[in-house]
Chains A and B, each alone.
Chain A
């Protein structure tokens, strides 16, 4: 099983905290670190680098040696696809071939599109055209493109990425339209952290079916699954130290992603999250929960979120250390 680290950042963590977490993940043998794209977001109060994940990725590439650097995800319609191709290839060159590029169609809310001057209605078309342009720019010595939204005369785009034919592209999304499009391309889908196991299982099965329908060897494609983790000294400590974070999630985060959870608001409680979604507990409990999860779903690549909402850097770091020492050797 591959182990990823999702650099989400909490309400109090600074960019230095996040960089230390990623460097620690690199040193202790995590396979991947993932960065998100967010704009105009008051939660992080400007202490982080989420507006510019590829800029941060370049910095991280120069500071790390082994870990793959994932973007989950760049929102394609907000930027020109040639910029994304150039910036992504630059990160791939700087990291010597360690970029994984996740892509998404829309931001967390309408404001993203409004501020960058695109309408939400045209994001579907822009997204699909941008993917085509991105791949052409990365792989062809020269190309031209004439679509509804982008028109590009004959050009060569540099630099070319180090990875051949091109860096892996991952899909982040929840709409059936996005799934269908991703499956036609054979992109692996990243599954969201807050979804209960049953939903993850259903989504994986649906996506594998779509991949097979389009002629891809579905089971050879790894679908990374994001999970919240907290490794404490005892189960009680895990409950105590995550309660505030879960309540914050319920009151703020979950309202925004209720569609993800497929549950009525009153059913989303800390207990339910603890049982169905999160991998919290002492090391033995976490090993047990992870092994059960491996039985239940396809878990060849887990992306672990350790730092979220009110979990500060200190707690995150301790939880990561316990994970590395007491859990990782028994689940990999």
Chain B
């Protein structure tokens, strides 16, 4: 297996000249809105010049809208957009047969005209996902994840193949359709542990870096990834590693905090058990306060503050910011407003050319 195709190199090259940062939008569901609202956010993201949108996977009471079937939601988004890349972040490989994942993803790549980024993850945020889909979470740590990924790549790139693994036995088959992107769509890996990060770097897969790393931790993570990547014999820096941040752009710092505080607190308390747990781990049960979290990890403020904070990230080597501008608990209109401010007042500081032409068409 080799790393992602060099077709992504352009952005990185420009970045090395100190100009460009790429921006993706992490799409969440909406508690008060509808599927149409989410679709509108994606269409607006395209108009505003975001590089990609990313969809998570959740099930059962964590799910509610569009999370349970990210490929199916992505297909509708592909039908309503022309340029923006559409990614998963990520599909939980343990819960589905890898042949299905390969087929569905290739279909989506074709339908979207080659705009798929397949982000994958070893395990879901709730162990019950694994219990119900009959793939114990222990399996994912003992080779199932690696086998599934290997099968997906073979299904995409080999005319015919057979597979004899510990978790999967597949007779000789020819999996069709093949994806449109050659040699295959980029694969991204959700890496929380150093072990997974090392695996991805060795294989040349870019990783997603979660929202809970301070700039200092982030720098260590990036250094570790690229060192492992180079030691494995991969050349250069062909890939962006999307770094996730919670963002809200307001008229002023105070206004931004004011409008976001309540929905964001409610999001952490009720909709993001993984995040809550991680925060408690970081701060201790009692030390967890919203103010502190905002200060350490979130970019909530006026455009100037956002630019400053993102420049800090850029200085330590971040080239792709995966923005969470949308929380399940946030009003759709507020989300659109924040997206628009971000695109018009923050993004131009990091793009080679301002998005004047693109923005002219946006009337919101």
Contacts and interface: CB of A to CB of B under 8 A. Distances in A.
Contacts of B235: none
Contacts of B78: 59
Interface in B243-257: none
Given A79-B100, A116-B99, A55 B133 contact: no
A94 B103 contact: no
Interface residues of B, number: 48
A307 interface: no
Interface string A145-162: 000000111011111000
Contacts of A156: 60-61
B132 A155 contact: yes
Chain B interface mostly: helix
Interface string B78-122: 111000000000000001110110011011101100000000000
B170 interface: yes
Contacts of A159: 63-66, 68
B230 interface: no
Contact of A54 (B72, B106, B174): B72
Contacts of A42: 174, 176
B171 A49 contact: no
What class of interface size applies to chain A in its complex with B? 35 or more
A94 B133 contact: no
B171 A114 contact: yes
A223 interface: no
B26 to A, nearest CB: 19
A39 B99 CA distance: 10
A142 to B, nearest CB: 9
A134 B131 CA distance: 18
Given A58-B73, A59-B75, A83 B96 contact: yes
A62 B66 contact: no
Contacts, number: 151
A58 B73 CA distance: 7
B72 A79 contact: no
B158 interface: no
Contact of B97 (A47, A79, A89): A79
A90 B68 contact: yes
Contacts of A114: 170-171
B63 A86 contact: yes
User: Which one of A42, A80, A111, A152 has the highest number of Cβ atoms from chain B below 10 Å of its Cβ?
Assistant: A80
A234 B85 CA distance: 48
B111 A49 contact: yes
Interface string B54-69: 0000011101111111
B110 A158 contact: no
B232 interface: no
A44 B110 CA distance: 14
A51 B103 contact: yes
Given A51-B177, A61-B76, A56 B111 contact: yes
Contacts of A116: 97, 99-100
Contact of A56 (B35, B96, B107): B107
B173 interface: yes
Given A39-B103, A79-B97, A159-B68, A111 B110 contact: no
Interface in A78-110: 78-80, 82-83, 86-87, 89-91, 93-94
A149 B175 CA distance: 27
Given A83-B96, A115-B173, 10 more contacts: A41-B176, A42-B174, A46-B176, A55-B107, A56-B111, A83-B95, A114-B171, A115-B99, A155-B132, A157-B60
Interface of B: 35, 39, 59-61, 63-69, 71-73, 75-80, 95-97, 99-100, 103-104, 106-108, 110-111, 128, 131-134, 168-171, 173-178
10 contacts: A15-B177, A48-B177, A56-B75, A63-B79, A86-B68, A115-B171, A153-B131, A155-B60, A155-B128, A158-B61
